[in-house]
Structure 1
Amino acid sequence: MKKSIYLLLTSITILTSCSSDDVENIIDPNPPTTANAVQLANDATFGNILTDSEGMSLYFFSRDTKGQSECNGDCKTAWPIFYQADLTLDEGLDAADFGVITRADGERQNTYKGWPLYYFVNDNAAGDTNGDKVGNNWYIAKPDYSLMYAEAQLVGRDADGNDLNFTSDYTEGDGLTFYITNSTGRTIYAFVNDTKDTNNYTADDFSNDPIWPIISLDINNIPSILDRNDFGTIDVFGRTQVTYKGRPLYYFGQDVERGDNYGISVPTPGIWPIVNTDTTAL
């Protein structure tokens, strides 16, 4: 009994004789925090970019226009998928912009604004951005792109309303074509009868705007393949319309699903072409 009392008193003496510094060493008042699964990093070249919790850069693939991954087999080896079940986010990122898809191979993958997210195998350290512009269809994942650069099959419709594949010269056939979309993958068009910085389609009362809506958005951040100097704006009956190489830009009202580009065959192929870096200036 006396031995127990002695041990208790000794323990109390040791604890009460510790300095405040000793107590802080025993109990850390500021334990380390876990990094978020998706971070918002600032890159000297690209500005704000998306990375994983260890600072490894994430990427978008131009062919993923319909919200599903088109990167499989050897492609997936070079561009590993990004997936975190518990997707914690840095301040400034909106959870509503993120999603999850189940890929054709059964694996799950995170998306941002409908674009599946990937790593690049040749990024060796945090902050590397070696994958940007590879093949002209891989781009660093940014949260604030105004536009995206897509690569997909052009699909119009025949006279009976059936889907019909077109090549980049608007003849029937299969093949991938590059074209500009908005940040969520909606196809952008020009009108063959427009002249330099002049909209020759839209009525002054905008009665035909639902068919071919004019595009009004801020062109702040764009994929590295695009040149900001190619974009401008014009006034269309009091509204602002974006131009590319002098061509006024439009959406097609009947492009309902993500990745649709049905406007390329209306009323006949080539009247409302897509736009890309090969588009000639007016």
Structure 2
Amino acid sequence: MLIYLKRNLLAVLCIAIVFTACKKSSSDEPTTPPVNNNKGIQLATDAKFGSVLTDKDGKTLYFFANDAAGTPTCIGGCETTWPLYYSADASTDLNLNKTEVGEVTRADGRKQSTYRGYPLYYFAGDAAKGEIKGDGVGGIWFVAKPDYSLMLANAQLTGNNINYTSTYAVGDGKTIYLTDSKGRTLYAFAPDKNGVNTYTRSAAQEGIWPVYESELLSVPSAIAKTDVGVITIATIGKKQLTYKGWPLYYWASDVKRGDNLGIVIGKGPGLTWPVLQLNATVAPAQ
């Protein structure tokens, strides 16, 4: 009798163990979704674009070339396709440079988050986390990245209170041209040769038309990375970024982002110090 009871008890115990194991491994067992503790702007890694900016839920953020001056210009119906992004929370991403994050107040009083002074937007066509379908739209919308060496402005050229077109005729109309990563206008010096700075011979000259110093990192998708290079200016011991062989310069009197006042310096509008337009021809060889 005692042996019989022991055998039954052992059988019940084995059944209980099997049942418990099955229950723990059952796909029907409810699971608790992971808690998202992210706040503010985040960094994500994309196979094509590398490091990109997202919101706390992983939705991609974008820059608008029309906003090079730092003022949001996507208004009205534009916002249907490109909703603004705003978060009052400081970023919890330890890899993000927090000093580059800011905000701007729009004309209607709403706030919008910025990175390196560029207002940030969503793209309505990105239905899910991680999608980047808005990059390159119209040649003026680009995925927001923390490591652009160059950016593009789509803006009016103005010098001496006169508006100029992309051909430097007097008139209104936007021109797509290169800026640094914070929206400051970049120029070419017409006498320069391919990969050769013929202007900068002293610190005094460099103070008037500073060379654009930058490593070659990422560029917007509208720019072919093979068109960008770096040269060394021996006279001042600095490196200078080039585009299509043209060494890139700032104009010292462009005191704020978006200014392009240097176009009228020299022989005439665009003749000596043109902005470096996206469709520029390759610099001539020596």
Give the AA of the match of 1:176.
K
Q: Does 1:207 align with 2:210?
A: no
For 1:51 and 1:234, the matched residues in 2 are separated by 34
Confirm or deny: 8 A CA contact 1:188 1:275 kept in the other structure. Answer: yes
Q: Kindly tell me the number of residue pairs found equivalent between the two proteins.
A: 246
Do structure 1's residue 266 and structure 2's residue 265 form an aligned pair?
Answer: yes
The 8 Å contact of residues 148 and 183 in structure 1, kept in 2 or not, is answered as yes
The 5 A counterparts of 1:28-177 are 32=35, 34-157=37-160, 163-177=161-175
Mapped contact 1:149–1:178 kept (Cα < 8 A): yes
Unaligned 5+ residue runs, structure 1?
1-30, 158-162
Between the aligned partners of 2:244 and 2:35, the Cα distance in structure 1 is: 51
1:209-248 alignment, distance < 5 Å: 209-237=206-234, 238-248=237-247
Q: Residues 149-180 of structure 1, C-alpha deviation per residue, up to 9 Å, x if partnerless?
A: 111011111xxxxx211110111111100011
Aligned 8 A contact 1:89 1:95 in 2: no
Classify the secondary structure of the residue corresponding to 1:105: coil
Query: Which residue of 2 is the match for residue 250 of structure 1?
Result: 249
Q: Give the equivalent residue in structure 1 for 2:278.
A: 277
Question: What SS does the aligned partner of 1:209 have?
Answer: helix
* Deviation of the 1:208 alpha carbon: 1.0
Whole-Å separation in 1 of the counterparts to 2:99 and 2:213: 23
Relative to the length of structure 2, the TM-score reads 0.83
Write out per-residue CA displacement over residues 182-216 of structure 1, whole angstroms, 9 at most, x where no aligned residue: 1000100001111222222112x332111111122
Q: Which amino acid aligns with 2:255?
A: V
- Indicate the SS of the match to 1:135: helix
Task: Give, in whole Å, the separation in 2 of the partners of 1:87 and 1:241.
Answer: 34
Give the letter for the 1:281 counterpart. V
Partner of 2:75, secondary structure, is coil
Question: What is the aligned partner in structure 2 of residue 17 from structure 1?
Answer: none
2-structure distance, mates of 1:109, 1:41: 21
- Structure 2 distance, partners of 1:185, 1:172, is 24
CA distance in 2, matches of 1:246, 1:99: 34
Sequence identity, in percent?
Answer: 48
Letter in 2 for 1:89: T
Shift of 1:33: 5.0
Deviations 1:198-254 (CA, angstroms, capped at 9, x unpaired) = 222112x33211111112210111101111111122232243222211111111111
1:264 is paired with a residue whose SS is helix
Partners in 1 of 2:58 and 2:35 — Cα distance? 17
RMSD: 1.4
Secondary structure of 2:99's counterpart equals: helix
Query: What corresponds to 2:185 in structure 1?
Result: 187
Amino acid at match of 1:216: E
Whether contact under 8 Å (1:99, 1:112) holds in the other structure is yes
